[in-house]
Amino acid sequence: MVLLAILMPQALFAATYYVDSHGGADSNSGLSAQASWKTLERLNAEHLHPGDHILFRSGGRWRGQLAPKDSGASGRPIVFDRYGDGTLPEIDGAGMVEDTILLRNVQQIEIRHLAVTNQGAGDKVRRGVDLVLDNYGRARHLVIDDLYIHDVDGTLARKDNGGIVFRTLGNRVHSRFDDLEIERNIVWKVDRSGIVASSSDVDRATWRPSRNVLIADNYVADIGGDGIVPWATDGAVVEGNVADHCNHRSHQANAGIWQWSTDNTLFTMNEAFGTGGTLDGEGFDSDFNSRNTRFFHNFSHDNQGGFMLICTPGDHTPAWNIGNIGTRIVENISRNDDGLLINLSGATQVTVARNLFYVGAANRAQFITSSWKGWPTDASFRSNRFYVQGDLVFGHGVERLKDGSYRVAPGWGGATHLSFTGNSIWGRVEDPPAGAMLHAGKQDVGQAVDWSTEPKFDPSHPDEYARYLTLHRTWLRALFNREFSPQTTDTDRVRAMQNHSGS
């Protein structure tokens, strides 16, 4: 009876509100489809309670900002969703606001099945969705799922704007996300970043990572800069995402999918292709101030800057940057990547094992170590396969050229404690490492695969995305089953790589 007395008042406050941009009126109660509200201003003014649902009518369109001020409760989040048939309800920031959807210092909120855009004049910070904790502490359970975010023309001068941004700010109360889900979103034609984090707590002296972060099954396409980048997280899972033609307007350092200032990040079953530029321009990147980053069963192809950068500046101190320790790159596929297939720069305790590299006839690729204020050490390259039709050069970077490539000399340069064992190379290469198993001919192996069978997706047709996801995951699993042991695609083994140091 006491428990019922506690719960009944909370249940009484829960309500479902309806918002209709065509047939609603702000003088209505909002408590039924027939008595719906009309504007975002009316909705933002309402005091919401745990368990409330706010439903936007399909086919409707609103200008301005959605900015709830209230939080839900454990097991009773505040949910924003759609009702009725038709196209996704769209919220258009129209360049009038910095953030079309703003979740500031709130928690226990879910947002689903909306379209979001934010275009305006001038070079300004603009975002589709902004989740920001400012001197807040820990925020639990925030969900951004099944949104269609398009045409957000933010500034190229800053990474922390574009499609979906999650930020932790402030120096009085350290903040973190706990249970953040960003899943099945389409992010198309945005600047500068697709899905990106930012934090004032990235230095190890004040490092307070977000936990239970899942970024899964998102499609980011036609992105000015970076595709998907978690920052300041521990144990984040980045799985099943596609980064399609990133880094095509920013002329700064950007890549397809990567992380920074993280521990125990797992990247698996992602695809990155068409990344532009050579600074950086790779499909994937294991960046610094990080430990135990895992790349397993990812597919990289046709990236101008190459497949993978593994880096840290050598002049770091643990107070602000612990370096790049324990990166593992296992059973990935690189096909027709130009530039730097691998650029190992400054990192330590690195394993690059059982990967496949297909270098097409038109590709000019490099596999190198380099110095970023210090050379790498303690790295193992083993049991990788290289099928070369074009040009592939092994060695160490002597000089960075204007086009982003390196002038390369034989050997690993100043790198120490590196091993290159059990690797097989088909085709002609320049300065192959000692111990490489060279095979004459058969350099077309892998290129004979009918890559045209890969499912394609056009972001201008968001209603086709669910079907594409199913087809794409099936195709990708079949690809890795064909090239590697089928047992390694088991979900439990994939996730176990986050905290397992074995090969």
Q: Has residue 389 got a pLDDT over 70?
A: yes
Q: To the nearest 5 percent, what fractions of the chain are helix, strand and coil?
A: 10, 40, 45
Q: Which residues contact 238 (CB under 8 A, 6 or more apart)?
A: 215, 216, 228, 230, 257, 259, 265, 266, 267, 268, 270
The radius of gyration of the chain from alpha carbons, rounded to an integer in Å, stands at: 24
Q: Has residue 82 got a pLDDT over 70?
A: yes
Q: How confident is the model at residue 489, as a pLDDT?
A: 42
pLDDT tens-digit series, residues 141-181: 999 999 999 999 999 999 999 999 999 999 899 999 999 99
Mean pLDDT of 341-365: 96
Mean pLDDT of 33-55: 98
Residue 24 or residue 319, greater confidence: 24
Q: At CA 144, angle to CA 140 and CA 146, rounded to 5?
A: 150
Mean pLDDT of 275-291: 95
Q: How confident is the model at residue 445, as a pLDDT?
A: 56
Q: Has residue 199 got a pLDDT over 90?
A: yes
Closest to 213 (Cα-Cα) out of 173, 171, 262:
262
Confidence of residue 404 (pLDDT cuts 50, 70, 90): confident
Task: Look up residue 263 and give its DSSP letter.
Answer: B
Mean pLDDT of 236-240: 98
Residues of the chain with pLDDT > 90, as a percent, come to 84
Q: Has residue 5 got a pLDDT over 60?
A: no
Lookup result for tokens 């193992």 = 380
Q: How confident is the model at residue 171, as a pLDDT?
A: 87
Q: How confident is the model at residue 103, as a pLDDT?
A: 98
Q: How confident is the model at residue 115, as a pLDDT?
A: 98
- The token pair that represents 49 in the structure block: 């309670």
Q: How confident is the model at residue 444, as a pLDDT?
A: 58
Task: List the beta bridge partners of residue 198.
Answer: 167
> Residue 104: is it exposed, middle or buried by C-beta count within 10 angstroms (0-12/13-18/19+)?
middle
Q: How far apart are the first and last CA of the chain?
A: 56
In whole angstroms, give the CA distance from residue 422 to residue 424.
Answer: 7
Q: Has residue 447 got a pLDDT over 90?
A: no
Q: Please give the full DSSP string across 113-166, using - where no structure is assigned.
A: S-EEEE--SSS---EEEEEEEES--EEEEEEEES-EEEEEE--TT-SS-EEEEE
Mean pLDDT of 433-451: 74
Confidence of residue 446 (pLDDT cuts 50, 70, 90): low
Tally the C-alpha atoms within 13 A of residue 135's C-alpha that lie toward its C-beta: 3
Summary mean pLDDT of the chain? 92
Cβ atoms of 437 and 424 within 8 Å: the answer is yes
Mean pLDDT of 366-376: 95
Mean pLDDT of 272-300: 96
Mean pLDDT of 349-365: 96
Q: Which residues contact 8 (CB under 8 A, 6 or more apart)?
A: none
Mean pLDDT of 263-284: 96
Q: Has residue 95 got a pLDDT over 90?
A: yes
Domain boundaries, the chain: 1-185, 212-503
Phi/psi at 118 (5° precision): -165, 90
Q: Has residue 435 got a pLDDT over 90?
A: no
Q: Has residue 450 got a pLDDT over 90?
A: no
